């Protein structure tokens, strides 16, 4: 071998024996522990709550790289929530603080401030802040029909004539030495099916459908665990199993409401999913044809299914969910007498006629004229006649079980005005967790408070 070839071979051998990490690029800069531009909006009432006629002021503090903004213009607009004016006003930051005088309200509700500013980094920063004015006095605009309870009792009675006919499918990716998960398809009405992921601690697996070759444990009569139903948020996307409640010794069913086959993926699922588009206003011309009729009753029947499991403890039935799932939580607890605890988060479908009265209504914002999900093709009077049977406020009036509810003020999907209307209608034992700065989401602390409350109220 000549010297040139030998040198090249040695060169290659050096790379062959280099550790893999030596061939990977490394960042020269540490990861920042803070955002370069930091903002905090603070109202002059720490709890963001005012009495009618009180003046509200918002102090917006902004720092860029730790330096207070100065002379940077803040654009903002203030008005009743979801009914903000088109025109922006402006004010300059002075030593890192911009002050917005939001004014007051003469009627119970929420005043909103939407603001934005462009920092030196060229990016635009924005946020939405809402302040409450006498929220405990907010009342719904939706009346309760005289035959409301009879209508729903009849609907549930008819659905219960139909056998649930559960179909079980293995979910190996969510089954391990601790938990067993099955995809379950249920017939919850004459022409209505739903699907859901049912997860339980493995040692509870007493029923034939849940036993597998590695499970030798079965329940003794009288043993069991609480059951938890979680209805879904809006839309028709995939749902996924969760081990949050099973880790705490519960049997958990997360459902979807459209019978979209959860085993499909990619384009195949997209074809099925699109068939559910626009369901929020489908059949709105009549209380008997409205899409949510079968959904409401279907959720109640899902509770019947959970209570038919031999693994149930026979005592505790919990319903919890957020947004549309929060609405369906209240509905299910009002309809099904087996439910013992109700825990909705920022429920949708509350005070549905609010926009007709120049006040923010609940999702899907019917009659707002500005939100696709709330578009209707029937006359307003026809829609109103139907929706009074589906407004969650009327179900809140019927609640008899202890209820924990959590929501925020900066939510522009499910308006806090509409949520307060539902909260004020509840006459059962209730506890709230209000986090003014949260939007259409929840802090981990709210989950912790909810679970502590559930444990305290369970029957042991």
Q: Please list the active-site residues.
A: 323, 411, 440
Helices 148-159 and 291-308, packing angle to 10 deg: 60
Q: Residue 400: beta bridge partners? A: none
Angle, helices 291-308/324-335, rounded to nearest 10 degrees: 60
Q: Which of 380, 341, 367 is nearest to 458 (CA)?
A: 341
The tokens describing 163, both together, are: 């056998």
The pairs formed by 238-246 with CB atoms below 8 angstroms and a separation of 24 or more are 238/262, 238/269, 239/196, 239/197, 240/197, 241/171, 241/174, 241/181, 241/197, 241/199, 242/197, 242/199, 243/174, 243/178, 243/179, 243/199, 245/199, 246/178, 246/179, 246/199, 246/200, 246/201
What's the CA gap between 387 and 286, in Å, rounded?
9
C-alpha–C-alpha distance, residues 436 and 105, integer Å: 18
Residue 55, CB-side half-sphere exposure with 13 Å CA sphere: 3
Q: Cis bond leading into 382, ω under 30°?
A: no
Evaluate whether 232 touches 240 at the Cβ level (below 8 Å).
Answer: no
Element at 303 (helix H, strand E): helix 291-308
């Amino acid at each position: 071998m000549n010297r040139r070839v030998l040198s090249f071979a040695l060169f290659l051998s050096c790379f062959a024996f280099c550790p893999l990490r030596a061939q990977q690029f490394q960042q020269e800069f540490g990861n920042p522990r803070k955002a370069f531009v930091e903002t905090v909006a603070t109202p002059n009432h720490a709890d963001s709550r005012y009495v009618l006629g009180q003046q509200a002021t918002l102090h917006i503090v902004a720092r860029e790289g730790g330096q207070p903004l100065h002379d940077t213009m803040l654009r903002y607009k203030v008005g009743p929530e979801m009914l903000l004016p088109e025109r922006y006003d402006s004010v300059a930051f002075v030593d890192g603080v911009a002050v917005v005088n939001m004014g007051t309200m003469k009627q119970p509700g929420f005043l909103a401030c939407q603001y934005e500013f462009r920092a030196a980094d060229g990016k635009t920063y924005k946020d939405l802040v809402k302040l409450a004015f006498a929220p405990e006095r907010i009342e719904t605009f939706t009346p309760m029909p005289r035959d409301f309870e009879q209508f729903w009792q009849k609907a549930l009675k008819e659905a219960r004539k139909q056998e649930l006919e559960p179909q079980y499918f293995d979910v190996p990716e969510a089954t391990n030495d601790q938990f067993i998960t099955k995809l379950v398809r249920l017939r919850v009405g004459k022409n209505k099916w739903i699907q859901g992921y049912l997860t339980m601690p493995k040692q509870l697996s007493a029923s034939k459908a849940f036993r597998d070759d590695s499970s030798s444990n079965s329940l003794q009569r009288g043993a069991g665990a609480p059951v938890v139903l979680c209805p879904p948020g809006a839309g028709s996307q995939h749902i996924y199993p969760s081990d949050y409640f099973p880790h705490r010794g519960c049997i958990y069913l997360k459902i979807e409401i459209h019978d979209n086959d959860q085993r499909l993926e990619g384009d195949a699922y997209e074809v099925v999913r699109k068939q559910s588009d626009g369901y929020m206003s489908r059949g709105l011309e009549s209380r008997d044809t409205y899409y949510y009729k079968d959904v409401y009753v279907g959720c109640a029947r899902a509770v019947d299914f959970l209570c038919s499991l031999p693994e149930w403890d026979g005592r505790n039935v919990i319903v919890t969910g957020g947004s549309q799932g929060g609405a369906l939580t209240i509905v299910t607890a009002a309809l099904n007498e087996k439910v013992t605890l109700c825990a909705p988060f920022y429920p949708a479908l509350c005070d549905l006629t609010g926009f007709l009265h120049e006040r923010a209504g609940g999702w899907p914002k019917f009659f707002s004229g500005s939100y696709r999900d709330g578009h209707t093709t029937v006359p307003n009077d026809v829609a109103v006649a139907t929706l009074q049977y589906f407004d969650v406020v009327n179900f809140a009036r019927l609640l008899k079980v202890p209820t924990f509810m959590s929501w925020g003020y900066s939510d522009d999907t499910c308006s806090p005005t509409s949520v307060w209307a539902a909260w004020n209608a509840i006459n059962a034992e209730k506890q709230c967790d209000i986090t003014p700065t949260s939007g259409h989401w929840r802090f981990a602390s709210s989950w912790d408070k909810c679970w502590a409350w559930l444990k305290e109220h369970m029957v042991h």
